[in-house]
Amino acid sequence: MASTQFLCSSHLFPSSRSSFRSSHLPRFKPYGSSNFHSKLHCQRPHLVRAMVSDSNTSRKQVEIEYDPEGRINKLADEVDKDAPFSRLTLFSPCKINIFLRITNKREDGYHDLASLFHVISLGDIIKFSLSPSKTTDRLSTNVSGVPLDDRNLIIKALNLYRKKTGSDKFFWIHLDKRVPTGAGLGGGSSNAATALWAANQFSGCLATEEELQEWSSEIGSDIPFFFSQGAAYCSGRGEIVQNIAPPLSLDIPMVLIKPQEACSTAEVYKRLRLDQTSNVDPLTLLENIKRNGISQDVCINDLEIPAFEVLPSLKRLKQRIIAASRGEHDAVFMSGSGSTIVGVGSADPPQFVYDDDEEEEEEEEEEEEEEDDAISLL
């Protein structure tokens, strides 16, 4: 079986006020129209039509039209005619940790960290529509294995917003998932921040963005970062967010590769030993990156050692990427608690990724042939 999955070639996502924000959308730039004074419309799929005719005459015909999204959009328009808009489509970017220092274990069981977070161009697309329901949100997605109930951070975020503001709005949400789970890229945290921001827009901005950022830490330590300008030095549990100017060129290329297996964050932290972590001051790392750019010696992740214990193939993957890059990458490191390995400086994935895919296809073909042979013997 192939041990790796090529996620994407990517780059840092803009974090300046003019590009990561807009005058109407201070944090999350909309995917599509930016005119928020009129109703927003999701892109509609092609209609599915079926023609039914009488077998005796071609004059009697009934046309059946199946357009579920069109029906949802129509219902959403009728839910609250006073709302600023009835549906909204947003880009939900993920992040990488350029460095991640674990500095202390707290009495409450959490760990203090110091990390340079930066959003990148990989992300999910989330569609929100007002729902006529006054009791339930409805979430759908394009991938299996993602919880659709209140275990999902999107639903948790919407429940949190209603609790804090008294809003009575519920939603239909479709999550076009492109960021894998268990990858150390903060996809779920970004989704939660996007949901909080969207709910606030639908409700006429009952809360400030500072309040949204503060509230978000109640359901996830990484979520407050996604209310930043895109690059931030984060400390505490991750909820203390200090905006910084992008320390790297926004067009710097990178490649993201992960094993098929995910890393359990809880298991990684369980195996963490503070005596095995780096002793480099994280502020020194930040200053070195600002002054000299990215290099292997500043991309320290204290969670790599325990993550490699949880998933030994992850250590081998990092070693293979470094060996195969032949110096093309300025740095190769794990993001978050894993299991994504990031190579910065080149967008070209190493050849072994394609070789592994070919090996997997050959193994699948061999398995199919063996099954056919077994059937023939029977």
pLDDT of res. 79: 72
pTM of the full predicted structure? 0.80
pLDDT of res. 71: 62
Whether residue 5 has pLDDT greater than 80: no
Please give the Cα distance from 195 to 219 (Å, whole number). Answer: 13
Taking the CA of residue 165 as centre, how many other CA atoms within 13 Å lie in the half-sphere pointing to its CB?
A: 24
Do 65 and 47 touch, CB atoms closer than 8 A? yes
Catalytic residue among 124, 137, 222, 302: 222
pLDDT of res. 207: 98
Helix, strand, coil distribution of the chain in percent, nearest 5: 35, 25, 40
Q: How many C-beta atoms lie closer than 10 Å to residue 135's C-beta?
A: 7
pLDDT of res. 43: 30
Please give the Cα distance from 150 to 5 (Å, whole number). Answer: 29
The pLDDT tens digits of the residues spanning 151-210 come to: 999 999 999 999 999 999 999 999 999 999 999 999 999 999 999 999 999 999 999 999
The pLDDT tens digits of the residues spanning 96-111 come to: 999 999 999 999 989 9
Instruction: Judge whether 95 counts as a catalytic residue.
Output: yes
Contacts of 13 (CB under 8 A, 6+ apart): 20, 93, 118, 119, 120, 121, 123, 230, 250
Do 52 and 111 touch, CB atoms closer than 8 A? no
322-332: buried (b, 16+ CB within 10 Å) or exposed (e) per residue?
bebbeeebbbb
**pLDDT, mean of residues 367-371:** 55
Provide the 3-class DSSP secondary structure of residue 346. coil
Sorting pLDDT into bands at 50, 70 and 90, what band is 36? very low
Q: Is the dihedral of CA 163, 227, 294, 125 positive or negative?
A: positive
Q: Please provide the size of the chain in residues.
A: 378
Q: How many C-beta atoms lie closer than 10 Å to residue 205's C-beta?
A: 13
pLDDT of res. 196: 98
The pLDDT tens digits of the residues spanning 301-357 come to: 999 999 999 999 999 999 999 999 888 999 999 999 999 999 999 888 888 887 765
pLDDT of res. 122: 93
pLDDT of res. 374: 52
What domains lie within the chain, and their CATH numbers?
Answer: 87-243 (3.30.230.10), 254-353 (3.30.70.890)
Poorest-pLDDT segment among 26-30, 49-53, 177-181, 367-371: 26-30
Whether residue 12 has pLDDT greater than 70: no
Please give the Cα distance from 22 to 25 (Å, whole number). Answer: 5
* DSSP result, 59-105: S-EEEEEE-HHHHHHHHHHHH-TTSS-SEEEEEEEEEEEEEEEEEEE
Cα-only R_g, the chain? 24
Sorting pLDDT into bands at 50, 70 and 90, what band is 248? confident
Sequence letter at residue 166: G
Mean pLDDT for the chain overall:
81
Percent of the chain with pLDDT over 90: 63
Whether residue 94 has pLDDT greater than 70: yes
Instruction: Judge whether 67 counts as a catalytic residue.
Output: no
Whether residue 242 has pLDDT greater than 60: yes
The 3-state secondary structure of 234-298, one letter per residue: EEECCCEEEECCCCCCCCCEEEEEEECCCCCHHHHHHCCCHHHCCCCCHHHHHHHHHHHCCCHHH
Token pair recorded at residue 229: 């300008």
Q: Which residue has the tokens 């292997």?
A: 296
Token pair recorded at residue 277: 């972590």
Please give the Cα distance from 222 to 238 (Å, whole number). Answer: 6
Please give the Cα distance from 315 to 337 (Å, whole number). Answer: 13
**CA-based max dimension of the chain:** 85
Highest mean pLDDT: which of 24-33, 62-71, 217-226, 240-249? 217-226
Sorting pLDDT into bands at 50, 70 and 90, what band is 273? very high
Q: Which helix (DSSP H) or strand (DSSP E) does residue 360 occupy?
A: helix 351-377
Parallel/antiparallel/unpaired status of strands 170-176 and 138-141: parallel
Sequence letter at residue 4: T
